[in-house]
Chain A
Amino acid sequence: MNGKTVIPFGPQHPVLPEPLQLKLVMQDEKIVEAIPAIGYVHRGLEKLTETKEFTQNVFVIERICGICSFKHALAYCQGMENLMGIEVPDRARFLRVIWGELHRMHSHLLWLGLLADAFGFESLFMQAWRDREKVMDIMEATAGSRVIISTNQIGGTRRDISPEMLAKIVDVVNDVKEDIERVEKVFCNDYTVKHRMVGIGVLSKENAKLWGAVGPMARGSGIAEDVRTLGYAAYGELDLEPVVETDGDCYARMKVRLRELYQSIDLIKQAIAKIPEGPINVPVKGNPNGEVISRVEQPRGEALYYMRANGGKTLDRLRVRTPTFANIPTLLKMLPGHHLADVPILILTIDPCISCTER
């Protein structure tokens, strides 16, 4: 029909730090169809892992994502440990929870900042990132790097956290909690924010399931699924309820992430209170053989790892399904019917991570 225009959104766009292009077919102000174009940052990491030793792969895997590197390494290490029958020491399992939740906190705070930036609330954006910096500092002080913290290895963790440092982490997360309470008020009650988010991009529970949404996307639509409840690492010994909102709009997804921040703080404190003494890793003997699947809950949702080994030093195949990979089809289905002005917010609420998606 006439009157249709195609507007390219991205790959360079002020709200998107990463190159995702959407070709939006518009009829007047409404979107009729959205076609994604990805492939701008495909690095072939899955191929690279076939050439490295399976122990070295941890470092490659971590570089899949610049936000949740720890969770990627965790998924890989847990899969390999299952495959090789390695029993991870208790202390390492708790340390994994602590670092894992710190990663979730910094990821969600980063996302909140980006969201504020997307609707032009610059001071809120700065505030969220300012609070995030405290989390980054603990990460660097405990693990040695801000993002790619490289503390996982097959059989445990590479570093330990001293008791003084653990006490300090509790102080810092308490401090961050106060900060979050202050920005939460703005995010939840501010007129501008509500105006841009309430009722936009409604995803029903049935559709979320049909299109395969994961993580905060699914939980914002009332699906109480969180892979952490399977009890990997030390999550089985901690109190954990999936955070669920039922409205399914952008506002609900934001609230899920805000509430998950509190949940992470709570989990960190629980883990620190319960952490046992002992060794932090066990040596790896032999080579893996067979195939295995491992899943973890990343800040953006469930990630699935598939590994096949043949008894040699290198793996036959390592497949990574990252959460954004699952959320993009949902986004495509959600976009039609919305105004062009809502597109940035809608895209941001799936928390896209394109480097993850393309690997």
Chain B
Amino acid sequence: MIENVTNIPLESLLGHVQDMLFSGYRFITATSVDNGDGTIDVLYHFDKELEMKHLRITVNKQDEIPSISGIYFGAVLVENEMKELFGLNIKNIVIDYGGHMLLSDEELDAPMSRQITIVNKDKGGEPQ
């Protein structure tokens, strides 16, 4: 459904992002989606004169992902967010909150990833 998606391997992420910068693209944001089978899709969205282009990497939960915030500073917030909510292992973010941008100490790790099904627990706890 989405046009202009390029699937790229994790290793070439930084190279591709660098290319985007050279060809004058603006970084919109990144999206992470849990596929439910232990892998996570990360989509990087770019825009040039309202044409969008996307890069997609598929990673395992423990894979080390290089940060693109050194290239596009605008990625700082979103990378921290993905790190916290999905438990992605993103390295070398320019401003690294170490998992405390949105969440506090007492909260669950990676609340958005599939492993923790808060919903089911709640429903099960209710008197049936």
Contacts and interface: CB of A to CB of B under 8 A. Distances in A.
Interface string A327-350: 011101100000000000000000
Contacts of B9: none
B102 A42 contact: yes
Contact of B33 (A38, A209, A229, A317): A317
A316 interface: yes
Interface residues of A, number: 42
B73 A210 contact: yes
Contacts of A37: 101
Interface stretch (A185-193, A195-203, A250-258, A286-294): A286-294
A230 B24 CA distance: 20
Interface stretch (A90-98, A157-165, A168-176, A318-326): A318-326
Contact of A358 (B31, B76, B78, B102): B102
Interface string B11-47: 0000000000100101111011110100000010100
Contacts of B27: 212
B2 A319 contact: no
B77 A329 contact: yes
Contact of A38 (B26, B50, B54, B101): B101
A51 interface: yes
Contacts of A47: 111-112, 118
A136 interface: no
B103 interface: yes
A209 B25 CA distance: 8
B17 to A, nearest CB: 13
A6 interface: no
A143 interface: no
Interface string A51-65: 100000000000000
Contact of B74 (A35, A211, A227, A304): A211
Contacts of B74: 211-212, 326, 329-330
B8 interface: no
A51 B101 contact: no
A225 B77 contact: no
Contacts of B52: 293, 295
A212 B28 contact: yes
A83 interface: yes
Contacts of B1: 82-83, 290-292
B29 A317 contact: no
Contacts of A119: none
Given A39-B102, A328-B77, A358-B102, A44 B111 contact: yes
Contacts of A291: 1-2
A230 B36 CA distance: 34
A356 to B, nearest CB: 12
A325 B80 CA distance: 12
A47 B103 CA distance: 14
A317 B43 CA distance: 13
B26 A212 contact: yes
Interface string B94-128: 01000011111000000110000011000000000
Contact of A225 (B32, B33, B49): B49
Contacts of A317: 31, 33-34
A319 B40 CA distance: 14
Given A212-B74, A225-B49, A293-B52, A38 B102 contact: yes
A46 interface: yes
B26 A227 contact: no
Interface string A218-254: 0000000101011000000000000000000000000
Nearest to A224: B49
B45 to A, nearest CB: 6
A306 interface: yes
A203 to B, nearest CB: 13
Interface in A301-318: 302, 304, 306, 308, 316-317
Interface of A: 35, 37-39, 42, 44, 46-47, 50-51, 82-83, 209-212, 225, 227, 229-230, 290-293, 295, 302, 304, 306, 308, 316-317, 319, 321, 325-326, 328-330, 332-333, 357-358
12 contacts: A39-B102, A39-B104, A47-B118, A51-B119, A212-B28, A229-B50, A306-B45, A317-B31, A317-B34, A319-B32, A321-B29, A321-B45
Closest 3 CB pairs of A and B: A212-B74, A321-B29, A39-B102
